[in-house]
A and B are shown apart, each in its own frame.
Chain A
């Protein structure tokens, strides 16, 4: 679980710029399987295949493209993609702060952590502390790979967390979900409130385990007991002996050693 760096640049608000790295905040817990060749158990890898040339294409020969007509593609280079929002590719510029109480959690998309890069530790701590004290989050735009994100930067336990947000047009309206406002039975509600009151606790996700993962783990443990794991074949190495002078010298030494034993 290495704290992997995803992006590095600066985060700024007004005239203060802090060098930071964006790192993962979450990591899926799913048990992952490798796809193997059932003939010899060698692991399979994903490769891109060109149907016209009928061959595998190496990463250096791969380019991104946009479909402009059925089966017709327009190639786009990484530089062209980055040039679309140049003022945002290396900086997360906070344009305004918002009150955290006003933020509907439906807008939160994916979380990341920010860690300060060398020299930015003090300004980082300041921003985290100030946002915690004022209960604010910073709103900014940020371009990563070929996408621009609207992000919120907030303070969590002394660290700065960055959340990509959904654009408002991406949040679907909830019209028609709730039933027409009918008369609410006060007694019924009172009973329910009591019922809920009896079930109050502190938020602690650690209490809950992924039952599916547990079952898969059990299955794996059982299988490991039943049979030895299969081994993938290893690549054979060519057994060239080495530079002739050295080889000759070594052979002579070996001969001497055997004779004296």
Chain B
């Protein structure tokens, strides 16, 4: 079952109003590590230290500043900062719809499941999801939640409505900044490459993959805890394929895959 209700809001566009509850859609389970003092294995605490005097500074003596120039700061009051938070309306305003396939995954940040809020007006939920699904479109929307202003996309998945938060355009580094070169690849190499990929294609079944690393890490920890010696292995390094060997490597791969 998805997590508890994180927030409540109301989707709005034209004559449509659907009240919803947001739930987490993803839950990460990771082995947590802490930072220890090497000498005595005591868990360390984080402190804010004044570099100038080299002493710890308690929260009451801390201030927030924005660095405008090296070493120069504009001090900002917590109350002033509070006032910049957008007004807390519960509206998820849909501004436009786009073809769902146009959404570049680089923009996807977090995802929530939406449940109709039966305490309020939510009758349109089913209709909305069905329409989104049939038209294969997503609703681009904005809303204010927990003092932040969000950009998002509403999409159907089966009969469930999902809300993805999107990154702002200046938060995604454009491909052009990578300054990749235009290198010529022959049609022959491309053909063999395509054939190879087709041979190596399998249906997408994410359930196949387990987090083996976590399991092994757990074993390592148990081993150490029992006082057993841990054998250190060296990481495997693979030799890169030289450009003039590329065609050969592709042909050999295709033979191997067939």
Contact = CB atoms under 8 A, between A and B. Distances in A.
B41 interface: yes
Chain B interface SS verdict (over half): mixed
19 contacts: A35-B62, A44-B62, A63-B38, A67-B34, A75-B38, A86-B236, A97-B202, A98-B202, A105-B103, A105-B111, A122-B243, A126-B246, A127-B193, A173-B1, A174-B160, A178-B126, A184-B126, A195-B14, A205-B107
Contacts of A199: 13-14, 94-97
A88 B172 CA distance: 28
A206 interface: yes
Contact of A193 (B135, B161, B209, B237): B135
Contacts of B180: 115-116, 124-125, 158-159
Contact of A196 (B1, B116, B135): B135
Interface string A195-229: 11111111101101111110110111001100001
Given A63-B38, A192-B128, A219-B80, A17 B239 contact: yes
A29 B40 CA distance: 40
A211 B127 contact: no
A80 interface: yes
A196 B83 CA distance: 35
Contacts of B107: 205
A63 to B, nearest CB: 5
Tell me which of B157, B194, B197, B225 has the highest count of chain A C-beta atoms within 10 A of its own C-beta.
B197
A16 B98 contact: no
Contact of A229 (B72, B105, B128, B134): B72
A23 B253 CA distance: 28
A3 B178 contact: yes
Interface in B19-71: 23-53, 56-57, 61-69, 71
Interface string A101-115: 011111111010101
Interface string A35-53: 1111111111111111111
Given A83-B233, A200-B137, A216-B81, A76 B253 contact: no
Contacts of B97: 196, 199-201
A68 to B, nearest CB: 5
A130 B197 contact: yes
Contact of B65 (A41, A85, A125, A211): A41
Interface string B231-242: 111111111111
Contacts of B210: 167, 169
Interface in B220-252: 220-221, 224-225, 230-243, 246, 249-250, 252
Contacts of B230: 80, 83
Nearest to B164: A105
Chain A interface SS verdict (over half): mixed
B198 A40 contact: no
Contacts of B235: 82, 86-87, 89-90
Given A14-B196, A84-B213, A177-B2, A98 B203 contact: yes
A126 B157 contact: no
A106 B25 contact: yes
Given A28-B171, A33-B65, A105-B164, A73 B240 contact: no
Contacts of B86: 211-212, 215
A146 interface: yes
A257 interface: no
A99 B173 contact: no
A28 to B, nearest CB: 6
B211 A3 contact: no
A128 to B, nearest CB: 9
B185 A125 contact: yes
A14 B129 CA distance: 42
Contacts of B73: 34, 36, 41, 229-232
A57 interface: yes
A210 B151 CA distance: 8
A164 B8 CA distance: 29
Interface string B129-169: 11110110101101000011101000101111110101111
Contacts of B80: 219, 223
Nearest to A185: B127
Interface in A1-42: 1, 3, 9-10, 12-19, 23-29, 31, 33-42
- 6 closest Cβ pairs, A-B complex: A148-B213, A14-B253, A42-B52, A130-B193, A215-B84, A89-B235
Given A106-B157, A229-B73, A73 B41 contact: yes
Given A14-B200, A167-B210, A196-B131, A119 B242 contact: yes
A257 to B, nearest CB: 35
Contacts of A177: 2, 23, 113-115, 160-161
